[in-house]
Chain A
Amino acid sequence: MNRVVITGMGVLSACGNSVEEFWEHLRAGRSGLAPLTRLAPESVANNVAGEVRNFQVAEHFGKQVELLDRFTQLALVATRQALADAGLPSRFDEAMAGPAPARVGVYTGSALGGAESQDVAYQQLYGKGATRVHPFSIPRCMMNAPSAHISMESGAQGPCMAVSTACASATHALGEASRWLRAGLVDVVLAGGCDAPLSYGVVRAWEAMRVLAPPGDRPQEACRPFSLDRAGMVLAEGAAMFVLETESHARGRGARIRAELAGYGASADAGHITQPTVRGPLRAMRMAMQEAGFSPEDIDYINAHGTGTRLNDSTEIAAIRELLGAAAMQVSISSTKSMLGHAMGASGGLELAACVLALEHQLVPPTASWHALDPECDLDVTPNVARSRRVEAVLSNSFAFGGLNAVLAVRRA
């Protein structure tokens, strides 16, 4: 079986539109949450979000943009960043140096697809009484639009697909992509996740579930994972794309290896559509550790799913406690959603980027906006201030509605 390494990353998030800016935010514990601007301020009650700011569409796209919903735009720009970061050409070509196009795969994850384009189309039909919608509505909305456009733009001609497992989408995409590489199906995969869910219809639907945090007086502190006063999650948008390669391919071309994607675990609770369990996440974490060859004492950091809802956070801590036993007292845990918000299908990708940076900098990014200890979350959740420590082995958790769990195990390069 091949080892799988990460050689390139690209991010667009509430905490910046480059890996450097993203890490500056995270290491400082600086939240990117702010009042929602993509919708009229009075149009929704929970008017706080993790928006991608300063994203000038015309800087990145020409005429092709008409075919691109925002979630695809974000994915394409993150992919360009990742390819450049990996020292790969922006386009794979049989006639040029670099990986053969047929040996490059694409795997993206998204929870909601082209939510904005769908909203626009429905508004035309139901709101304005139109009888037709824009003919690009289908290609803009379809869940596989990002993977298709990444393949078209980069020339990647290997297997190309998309997965939709709600909040675990990116983590499943990255994990499944790692299996292609382990099995030797391809040499390189462009993998990650993207979502742009800040459309009126989606925000209202999340409000109806009563899991969104109110903005309060300090919107940047609206998401407070593991804190006793946590009051829910904050919706966000973003994309995180990675260049994954077999170790031998990366070494063969002299690439800089950022980290090893050492293990992946996936499980289903087979329980409730929204309520999490301990056993499902526990099994996914164990599988990822087993594949990576990590024992409980090895784990230095866990980037938690940590949504900031009452139920998720305490259940996740209980699962970690059971996973690590006595070693749970030594592990650093944090939820970077406290700064990024919950970028749905992109969140697992953003969180993997946080893990890679933690390994590179030997620094655990904090759980920002933490105010008070919840006895049900009394492990070290790295409150408010980053912690400098040995970071050799980490886990990145994503637990989706539906009880679909995905965990990545990452080792320092």
Chain B
Amino acid sequence: MTDTLTEEVIAIIAKEQRLAPDVISPDATFQDLKIDSLDGVNIVFALEEKYNITIPDQVAREMRSIRQVVDALRTQLDAASA
């Protein structure tokens, strides 16, 4: 089972990478999905736009898998709503 946030992240990455959402496993790494560094900044931008948050550069650079994205995003969202 995947939670809503994970599903949303997968949907955003699928859209930006022009992939079908069902090929993206929650355990996938950016390397598995052939997401390069430029794709990465594009995905971070899409997340920032969607959730109206600012993801610091340090955090963005650590995002190399779906799980890392979801975890970092949850931390940012919690901080934003605190």
Which one of A63, A67, A134 contacts B45 once the chains associate, using CB atoms below 8 Å? A134
Chain B residues within 8 Å of A132, by CB: 45, 48, 54
A132 to chain B, nearest CB (A): 7
Chain A residues within 8 Å of B38, by CB: 67, 135-136, 139
- Convert A130-142 into 0s and 1s, putting 1 for each residue whose CB lies closer than 8 angstroms to a CB of B: 0110111001000
On whether the beta carbons of A136 and B18 are closer than 8 Å, the reply is no
- List 5 tightest A-B contacts by C-beta distance, closest first: A135-B41, A63-B18, A135-B45, A135-B42, A134-B45
Which one of B18, B44, B45, B54 contacts A62 once the chains associate, using CB atoms below 8 Å? B18
Give CA–CA (A62, B41) in the complex, Å.
Answer: 19
A-B contact pairs, 17 of them (CB 8 A): A62-B18, A63-B17, A63-B18, A66-B42, A67-B38, A131-B54, A132-B54, A134-B42, A134-B45, A135-B38, A135-B41, A135-B42, A135-B44, A135-B45, A136-B38, A136-B42, A139-B38
Interface of B is mostly: helix
A282 to chain B, nearest CB (A): 48
B15 to chain A, nearest CB (A): 11
A112 to chain B, nearest CB (A): 24
Please list the residues of chain A having a beta carbon within 8 angstroms of any beta carbon in chain B: 62-63, 66-67, 131-132, 134-136, 139
A174 to chain B, nearest CB (A): 31
Chain B residues within 8 Å of A139, by CB: 38
Give CA–CA (A66, B17) in the complex, Å.
Answer: 11
Q: How large is the interface on B (under 10, 10 to 19, 20 to 34, 35 or more residues)?
A: under 10
- Convert B16-29 into 0s and 1s, putting 1 for each residue whose CB lies closer than 8 angstroms to a CB of A: 01100000000000
- Given A134-B45, A139-B38; 17 other pairs, CB 8 A cutoff: A62-B18, A63-B17, A63-B18, A66-B42, A67-B38, A131-B54, A132-B45, A132-B48, A132-B54, A134-B42, A135-B38, A135-B41, A135-B42, A135-B44, A135-B45, A136-B38, A136-B42
Give CA–CA (A26, B18) in the complex, Å.
Answer: 41
The B1-36 residues at the A interface (CB cut-off 8 A) are 17-18
Chain A residues within 8 Å of B44, by CB: 135
Chain B residues within 8 Å of A134, by CB: 42, 45
The B30-60 residues at the A interface (CB cut-off 8 A) are 38, 41-42, 44-45, 48, 54
Give CA–CA (A63, B42) in the complex, Å.
Answer: 13
B14 to chain A, nearest CB (A): 12
Question: Which residue on chain B has the smallest CB distance to residue A139?
Answer: B38
Give CA–CA (A66, B54) in the complex, Å.
Answer: 22
Question: Which residue on chain B has the smallest CB distance to residue A131?
Answer: B54
Question: Which residue on chain B has the smallest CB distance to residue A66?
Answer: B42
Give CA–CA (A69, B61) in the complex, Å.
Answer: 26
Question: Which residue on chain B has the smallest CB distance to residue A62?
Answer: B18
Question: Which residue on chain A has the smallest CB distance to residue B19?
Answer: A63
B61 to chain A, nearest CB (A): 13
Chain B residues within 8 Å of A135, by CB: 38, 41-42, 44-45
B68 to chain A, nearest CB (A): 18
Give CA–CA (A132, B48) in the complex, Å.
Answer: 9
Give CA–CA (A139, B38) in the complex, Å.
Answer: 10
Chain A residues within 8 Å of B54, by CB: 131-132
Give CA–CA (A30, B18) in the complex, Å.
Answer: 42
Give CA–CA (A396, B63) in the complex, Å.
Answer: 53
Chain A residues within 8 Å of B18, by CB: 62-63
